Amino acid sequence: MSPETKPDFLINPEGLRLDGRRPDEIRPTELEVGILKKADGSAMIKQGNTHILAAVYGPRELHPRHLTLNDRAYLRCEYRMATFSVPDRKRPAPSRREREISMVISNALEPALFLEEFPKAVVDVYIQVIQADGGTRCASINAASLALADAGIPMRSLVPAVAVGKADDKLLVDLGDMEDKYGGGDIPMAIIPRTEEITLLQQDGSFKKEELIEAIRMGINSCKYLHELQKEALKRAYAKRAPAEDDEEDEYEDDLETDLGESDLPEEED
Ligand code: UDP
């Protein structure tokens, strides 16, 4: 494979990006819920060429015991990149970056969960990056949040996430790998859509105050769009599992509307 070269420009004279997207356009995104039979919950995301699987087990007994939290469940996230997920073989041992991203993901998801309902237990979230093309921490949050819903973990909301960045002094949402590498900065963020509470906000590179405010506004818009895709993916999974009987199916559809109306799941807090 030829070594990657820096592109001449990240935004062309027509204002479009390397893959033809507008600055405020996210990558083509596919979400699928419940794809792993053995996990309590699972989801897959393809966000452009970033492909990720998330599996949830629990709530279950926590080992090692010294990690036990008496007032809530421990949300243990493990983000890993497959050795073949990037052209330069990723070493299989967990890197510092992977450990840091695991913690960031856990912190982004935790405010949306009612972990206090399961004191002393653990909810394990395993995230495997199959193919990395930028934005893996945000795509991981998108998939992990769906996998947690699929596992029936009580939650206030799904958590959508996206990175907003900058190239040629223009703000761009959902950076691809080249934009991440050769652009002028990167702001990954995650939100609880109904309240617009921000549960993750990091920044790489420098942004003027006005740019930061605009980047957050663009990020919230993209997150709200991703949230719609997340809800649709959950609905598709529920519909597939609905009972075959017509009457029961109607009842099931009604329940689903209630569940996915104002909030994402039945356990919504008000
Ligand atoms: N990357 C890589 N090898 C690694 C780690 C990362 O090639 O060991 C690439 C990968 O495509 C990733 C990108 O660098 O998506 C940016 O990584 P960053 O740490 O900014 O996280 P991300 O943007 O994926 O959340």
Question: Residue 175 sits in a domain of what CATH number?
Answer: 3.30.230.70
Q: Is residue 200, in this structure, part of any structural domain at all? A: yes
Cα 134 to ligand 1 centroid, rounded to whole Å? 6
Per-residue pLDDT at 259 exceeds 60: no
Is the Cβ–Cβ distance between 32 and 43 less than 8 Å?
A: yes
Alpha carbon nearest to ligand 1 atom 3, residue: 86
Per-residue pLDDT at 235 exceeds 90: yes
* Residue 14 in tokens: 């027509």
Predicted pLDDT at 5: 83
Number of domains within the chain:
1
Q: What is the average per-residue pLDDT within 154-169?
A: 96
Alpha carbon nearest to ligand 1 atom 14, residue: 134
Predicted pLDDT at 1: 43
Predicted pLDDT at 16: 95
Evaluated on CA atoms 77, 83, 87, 91, the torsion sign reads positive
Q: Is residue 267, in this structure, part of any structural domain at all? A: no
Strand (E) positions, the chain?
29-33, 41-47, 50-61, 74-81, 121-131, 161-167, 170-173, 186-192, 197-201
How deeply is 176 buried, as exposed, middle or buried, from its count of CB atoms within 10 A (0-12, 13-18, 19+)?
A: buried
Q: Is the CB of 134 under 6 A from ligand 1?
A: yes
Rounded CA separation 195/187 (Å) = 20
Q: What is the average per-residue pLDDT within 135-155?
A: 98
Q: Is residue 48, in this structure, part of any structural domain at all? A: yes
Per-residue pLDDT at 117 exceeds 80: yes
pTM given for the model: 0.91
Counting residues of the chain whose pLDDT is more than 70, the rounded percentage is 89
Q: Is residue 158, in this structure, part of any structural domain at all? A: yes
Predicted pLDDT at 266: 43
DSSP state of 131: E
Q: Is the CB of 136 under 6 A from ligand 1?
A: yes
Name the pLDDT band for 267 (thresholds 50, 70, 90): low
Q: Is residue 10, in this structure, part of any structural domain at all? A: no
Counting residues of the chain whose pLDDT is more than 90, the rounded percentage is 83
Atom of ligand 1 nearest to the CA of 175: 23
Per-residue pLDDT at 256 exceeds 80: no
Rounded CA separation 111/233 (Å) = 22
Is the Cβ–Cβ distance between 137 and 127 less than 8 Å?
A: no
Name the pLDDT band for 262 (thresholds 50, 70, 90): very low
Q: Is residue 34, in this structure, part of any structural domain at all? A: yes
Is the Cβ–Cβ distance between 50 and 30 less than 8 Å?
A: no
Cα dihedral 153/260/52/122 (nearest 10): -10
Predicted pLDDT at 249: 53
Predicted pLDDT at 241: 83
Per-residue pLDDT at 100 exceeds 60: yes
Rounded CA separation 183/165 (Å) = 7
Cα 98 to ligand 1 centroid, rounded to whole Å? 10
Q: Is the CB of 177 under 6 A from ligand 1?
A: yes
Q: Is residue 215, in this structure, part of any structural domain at all? A: yes
Q: Is residue 15, in this structure, part of any structural domain at all? A: no
Atom of ligand 1 nearest to the CA of 140: 25
Residues 6+ apart with CB under 8 A from 269: 114, 156
Per-residue pLDDT at 258 exceeds 70: no
Rounded CA separation 175/188 (Å) = 9
Per-residue pLDDT at 28 exceeds 70: yes
Peptide bond into 59 cis (omega under 30): yes
Per-residue pLDDT at 245 exceeds 60: no
Domain that holds residue 99: 29-259
* Residue 94 in tokens: 């967990």
